[in-house]
Amino acid sequence: MKRIPLLVSTFLIISACATSPLGRKRILLFGDSTMDSMGVQSFEEIKKKTPIESDPKINAYVKCIALPLLENAGSRIPVSGWEVVVFKDPTPNAFALPGGKIGVHTGMLPVARTADQLAAVIGHEVGHVLAQHGNERVSQGELASLLMGVVDVSLREMDPDKKKLLLGGLGVGLQFGALLPFSRSQESESDLIGLRLMVRSGFDPKQSVELWKNMKASAGGGGPEWLSTHPSPDSRIRTLEAEALKMEAEWKSIRDRGNLPRCSRT
């Protein structure tokens, strides 16, 4: 009987194995419709709790940048249409959710100082949806809970104090040994997917580097990279500089054909 939960979890892991757009192995336990429903519900809750920007110029500017990126994301995201909302929030943040939802905080606009830089932000967030990172994160949480439950059952006869200490150590091990590193991988993956969307949409990929220089300056430093769910700004900048250089010829070809978005806040 004790082996049943382990056998079930092993079956789930094997049956749910998938490959990310950049070839990384991961586990997805939930269907698109489930994730879309969760994304829509979360977005509606955010709209109820956060003021929405009503300035037509700001809304037009953000949508002007988002729409080409979404068009180039194309049929890889199975939703009928996207909703783009600008929230009155001073924090420099943006997000995209399954179900075709994008939110941009007004606090991002002073940091992403040009249309190309804001395209890097939105492209990165759309990259999370394209790569099904939401599904991956929820799946990781489910598997972590399942593993903790299996261990808890198997240690039912252990001294309670020793059991608590062991489970606590396992929880820390899961956090730093699995969940956080995966999240950094997701962030790096989204950077590269977003960069490709930028180029195909006519935005200058080099401006993704400038964006992260601005982000680094606004953040004023942070903790060590191995304790973070994000790559360090310096690590991110180095990677984006190298990738943007590889894509520069493609972007110049698009630019020379005149296929550039014309997005202005004025």
**Residue 178 scores a pLDDT above 70:** no
223: phi > 0 → left, psi -120 to 50 → alpha, else beta; which?
A: beta
Q: What is the pLDDT of residues 214-253, one digit of tens each?
A: 988 887 655 554 445 567 788 889 999 999 999 999 999 9
Q: Is the pTM of this model over 0.95?
A: no
**Among the listed ranges 35-49, 162-176, 229-243, which one has the minimum average pLDDT value?**
162-176
Six-digit token string for 23: 């070839």
Cα–Cα separations (whole angstroms), residue 68 to 73, 74, 118, 155, 190: 9, 10, 12, 54, 17
Q: Phi/psi class of residue 96: alpha, beta or left (left: φ > 0; alpha: ψ in -120 to 50)?
A: beta
Compute the radius of gyration of the chain from its Cα atoms. 21
Whether 16 contacts 29, CB under 8 Å? yes
How many other β-carbons are positioned within 10 Å of the β-carbon of residue 63? 17
User: Is 125 considered catalytic here?
Assistant: yes
The C-alpha atoms of residue 114 and residue 68 are separated, in whole angstroms, by 16
Strands in 94-97's sheet, in edge-to-edge order, are 83-87, 101-105, 94-97
Q: Tens digits of per-residue pLDDT, 130-143? A: 888 887 887 777 67
CA distance 245 to 190: 17
Q: Which of 125, 187, 189, 210 is catalytic?
A: 125
- CA 104 to mean position of chain CA atoms: 14
